[in-house]
A and B are shown apart, each in its own frame.
Chain A
Amino acid sequence: MSLVLTCLMDQGKLSRDSLEVLGAGKSLASELGAGLAAAVIGAETGALCAAAGEYGAGKIYSVQDAALEQYYCDGYLAALESVCRECEPVAVLFVTNTQGRELAPRLAKRLGRAALVDCLSFNVDKETGRIVFTKPVFGGKAMAQAVLSDTPAVIALRRRSFEPAQQDQVEPEIIEVKPASIPPNPFKVIERVEEQQAGVRLEDARVVVSGGQGLGGPENFALLEELAGLLGGAVGASRVAVDSGWVSSSKQVGQTGKIVAPDIYLAVGISGACQHLAGCSGSKVIVAINTDPEAPIFGAARLGVVGDYRDVLPPLIEKVKEIV
């Protein structure tokens, strides 16, 4: 039976990203009449194998090695290459996060195949049996459909574009894979700084208040922080705000930043470039506050307020205080 291989790049327990890749893998496998497999990598993969089995992975390829305790590209690539040579999947699925972005193209190259990154959907052509993948191009102004000529198709899926897998307990077959060699990390890690997030993670927030060029400076993000705090939300930003040094780049929402899908996405002083909208188009309600009624953001927003945020946000904050 042919296999769809999902790459679960977690330690210990399944992340939302991994649940999404399992969910997508399951639907692709069922369209192809293939089985669902998972690759897990680490120093100790037992817990992750069990978790993958709970979500329907019938075959689990496990690479355990002390050297793989923490993620590094070259080590995980060698592990994944061994897994792919062992199970010869029809498709290999990643999520387009920092790991999937670098692993997918490099793994494909090692297998003599090609990869597509940031795919939004797929469908199987009934006549030819080929998988057609859709990905945004030109910053989201167009959608491309592409077919990879040979298997495995190596794909990184855009976050928040696929439903996470539901529990579906199977008794998985666990296959231990031993790579011939695991190369050491060619880079020495001198310092690793994990940003402490106050409050909710941007990607998990129910409300995101984002600021852009229109804010004119870092100090004006305080209003956004206050509003987001009151609503139990998080602050995001456009690329301009990041490039200007007003906020840290981990707050960038967009095609190459965070992909968010909150109930309310409040875009303050953001013009609405396609690349930015790509990061928030899954939101339930996009609200735009902008002085320019012609700003493209109003073409994507459900609710629009034409006006200066300095006039609108302070009363908005006061009203929110009354109702929360």
Chain B
Amino acid sequence: MQIMVCLKQILDPELPPRDFRLEKGEMAPATEGIPLVMSSFDQNALEVGLQLREKLAGATVTVVTVGPEGAEDVLRKALAVKADRAVRVPLEQDCKLSGGMVAGLLAGVARQLEADLVICGRQAGDWDGGQVGLILSEELGWPGANLVTGIEPGAGGLVLKRELEEGYEVIEGNVPLVAVVTNHETNVLRIAKVKDTMAAMRKKIELIDAAGSAVEPQAGRIELVGLEIPVKEVNCEMIPGEDGSEKADNLIKRLLELKVL
């Protein structure tokens, strides 16, 4: 089974808000000096793919990213945890909120790789679009399962566990399909061994050129017209007290005064 996992490189979401700035005169964040990382739900997606491969003889995991050369770092990170193949679709522009453009490129790659299963993270931690995997299932005309936490081989295909509003369900489906992954205690990405990280530096990254740029759709474009950092006007009132008991007392007093208790 050919498993394709889609990965995105993003600005480190752990960056504290006070260090988050916008590029002057542009609707984009300032990136200089800020670490770039693999988007966190994509890490979960990769782990789901790797765990499935371990249970399926002959399965391979190909990781794919759309982005500039620097985005190959996330592919190397995936190779370090033993993804079999890595593919980059060169693209300099940031598609921002237009996940449909990225989904179009990824659909082309899925066809070219003859993927049976495409796994994506539910939402990238930069533009928070939350659409690529879902649109991808439409592009490919494959069944799509959202909010998946794990995939296992089953008697009649693949068995997927997915989150519900309250609880979960276990569903069975046949490939080809698209699984969109959310975080769960069972899919936290494994840590690479040092020697595998070293080896990953030397591995080949294939390029699949999807005409050099993402195609703006004819209709249904998303036009970004503004980007701003919200002003927070919260002043935290620190509760005084010598010890826990005194602080608890004073906290209760303030909550009663604020009429919320």
Contact = CB atoms under 8 A, between A and B. Distances in A.
A47 interface: no
B170 to A, nearest CB: 4
A136 B261 CA distance: 31
B249 A319 contact: yes
B90 interface: no
B181 to A, nearest CB: 11
B164 interface: yes
Interface in B34-60: 41
A108 B164 CA distance: 22
A299 B128 CA distance: 23
Interface stretch (A26-34, A164-172, A303-311): A303-311
Interface in A298-324: 298-308, 310-316, 318-320, 323
A109 B243 CA distance: 58
B173 A118 contact: no
B128 A138 contact: yes
A144 B20 contact: no
Interface stretch (B63-71, B73-81, B198-206, B251-259): B251-259
Contacts, number: 268
Listed residue (B98, B171, B174, B254) with the most chain A CB atoms within 10 angstroms of its CB: B171
B26 interface: no
Interface in A74-123: 74, 97-98, 101-102, 105-106, 108-118
Interface residues of A, number: 89
A195 B223 contact: no
A141 B229 CA distance: 6
Nearest to B253: A319
A231 B260 CA distance: 11
Interface stretch (B1-9, B110-118, B141-149, B207-215): B141-149
Nearest to B254: A303
Contact of B219 (A113, A138, A288, A307): A113
Interface in B141-182: 143-147, 149, 156, 159-160, 163-174, 177, 180, 182
A314 B143 contact: no
A146 B97 CA distance: 9
Given A112-B220, A137-B127, A249-B163, A142 B251 contact: no
Given A189-B171, A311-B243, A149 B166 contact: no
A192 to B, nearest CB: 4
A114 B217 contact: yes
19 contacts: A109-B138, A112-B217, A141-B15, A142-B29, A143-B228, A149-B220, A150-B220, A187-B145, A190-B169, A191-B170, A193-B168, A250-B163, A256-B123, A301-B234, A303-B255, A305-B247, A311-B244, A313-B244, A315-B244
Given A191-B170, A243-B188, 6 more contacts: A132-B226, A188-B173, A193-B168, A301-B236, A319-B248, A323-B256
Interface of A: 73-74, 97-98, 101-102, 105-106, 108-118, 132, 135-150, 186-195, 197, 231, 239, 242-245, 249-250, 255-256, 263-264, 273-275, 284-285, 287-288, 296, 298-308, 310-316, 318-320, 323
10 closest A-B pairs by beta carbon, nearest first, are: A311-B244, A145-B226, A245-B185, A186-B143, A113-B220, A114-B220, A105-B131, A316-B248, A315-B248, A187-B171
